[in-house]
Amino acid sequence: MLKVLIPTVMLFPTIWLTSPKWLWTTSTANSLLIALTSLTWFKWTSETGWTSSNTYLATDPLSTPLLVLTCWLLPLMILASQNHMTPEPINRQRSYIMLLTSLQTFLIMAFGATEIIMFYIMFEATLIPTLIIITRWGNQTERLNAGTYFLFYTLAGSLPLLVALLLLQHSTGTLSMLVLQYTQPLQLNSWGHMIWWASCLIAFLVKMPLYGVHLWLPKAHVEAPVAGSMVLAAVLLKLGGYGMMRMMVMLDPLSKELAYPFIILALWGIIMTGSICLRQTDLKSLIAYSSVSHMGLVAGGILIQTPWGFSGAIILMIAHGLVSSALFCLANTTYERTRSRTMMLARGLQVIFPLTTVWWFIANLANLALPPLPNLMGELMIITTLFNWSPWTILLTGLGTLITAGYSLYMFLMSQRGPVPNHITGLQPYHTREHLLMTLHLLPVILLVAKPELMWGWCY
């Protein structure tokens, strides 16, 4: 664990001591080395599943894929931000990279924590850098409004969780994940216990986000700079899913009855947010709502509490993290050239940028879950386990899949096909940096087809 955490912390002095000329090169190279080092976590040696470096930090097959995704994303965020950050003063550039690095540090400590209270503290700590990135480097004036939504939705959901954790500590005497999985399930039968059950999960459902408490997400995505959107879609939403998976182990007797309304809301959210996507004109907003739709499926898979549901959820989280991050990068490259996120004003780009259209095509096909990509694998596992729970869910999940295919193709056709508008002239060509960025996003998705057990090995 420390072999990745210490180099990440060492990036802070490196960022401030590097000469301005080499700032981006050094930070990208260092973060890429950290990302490559994190791949060694896939080599599991422990029989119990937990590989610990000390009492408070450990990895197990559930947290490892998310930890590697977190480390993989930092060099990609730095690569993506290079163009729009270069005109800024050098100290602002350093601050920006430092915020991204601090976000990675908090995320590594959140996913690697063995104590639930440490996970909670790191879960909350990720708010601070994300909020600064959105409100300081966002594009429009609404960024302060978006920051307020983001902060208050997350905090309002998280406070009941803190109280629930303190109660859990009081009743069991420990908050260590290593011990809690072997303790006797709590005897939950009263109304107070039901409220405790809800407060354990609501913070994570807001973070995922579940349909109904999702309004902060499109705002935050649309206003955030590219790195903010990438980390929000790829990793921060997954904190919610990861936290739910960890907490569901202890909530067993009550979950069977109390999970019903949340599962129904998640499945209804797939249809609703998918339908909203079909009406969007703003490219980033469309991708943001598509994230809510996918996360609804993940929430359903986790709440059912079967091994298939859990593995489908983790596979879909990893695949969605890479694909939605890639889509936000592509939306940003289009925005940097045309200065517009409205799809009607930036269409017909296939004629001008044929190679970029290939990236758009692959990313969209991955988003609509084309076989044999891991997106389809995760979706099918969750749809199957939901069907096993109640055959009626196939109506909602099946319709949701069709709508997903519809808006993904709509996004591709609107942005890439059709006549080139007359106002689009003198666009800057795409750089090797941007093609490298897309390769590093989509190559892991394609390679995971060959070795999917990296994501779901924990089930066996």
pLDDT 10s digits, 128-146: 999 999 999 988 889 999 9
Q: State yes or no: pLDDT of 460 exceeds 60.
A: no
Residues 345 and 321 in one domain: yes
Give me the pLDDT at residue 290, please. Answer: 96
Residues 203 and 340 in one domain: no
- Range of the structural domain that residue 163 is part of: 1-43+53-252
Region 349-354 average pLDDT = 91
- The proportion of the chain whose per-residue pLDDT surpasses 90, expressed as a percent, equals 72
Mean pLDDT of the chain: 91
Ramachandran region of residue 282, left (φ > 0), alpha (ψ -120 to 50) or beta?
beta
Residues 231 and 369 in one domain: no
Give me the pLDDT at residue 457, please. Answer: 59
Give me the pLDDT at residue 316, please. Answer: 95
Residues 63 and 188 in one domain: yes
pLDDT digits (tens, 9 = 90+) for 205-243: 999 999 999 999 999 999 999 999 999 999 999 999 999
Give me the pLDDT at residue 458, please. Answer: 55
Residues 278 and 363 in one domain: yes
Residues 333 and 438 in one domain: yes
pLDDT digits (tens, 9 = 90+) for 261-317: 999 999 999 999 999 999 999 999 999 999 999 999 999 999 998 999 999 999 999
Q: State yes or no: pLDDT of 414 exceeds 60.
A: yes
Residues 248 and 258 in one domain: no
Looking up tokens 């993904």 gives 408
Band the pLDDT of 459: cuts 50, 70, 90. low
Contact 100, 126 (CB under 8 A): no
Residues 258 and 213 in one domain: no
Is 48 within the bounds of a domain? Answer: no
Residues 453 and 441 in one domain: yes
Give me the pLDDT at residue 254, please. Answer: 75
Q: Which residue has the higher pLDDT, 199 or 180?
A: 199
Residues 110 and 69 in one domain: yes
Contact 383, 458 (CB under 8 A): no
Angle at 245 between CA 106 and CA 284, to 5 degrees: 60
Instruction: Provide the number of structural domains found in the chain.
Output: 2
- The pTM score is 0.95
Give me the pLDDT at residue 186, please. Answer: 67
**Residue 398: how many CB atoms within 10 A of its CB?**
12
Region 114-118 average pLDDT = 93
Give me the pLDDT at residue 45, please. Answer: 65
Q: Please state, in angstroms and rounded to a whole number, the distance separating the CA atoms of residues 205 and 56.
A: 25
Distance (Å) of CA 333 to CA 113, 273, 365: 36, 25, 19
Residues 246 and 266 in one domain: no
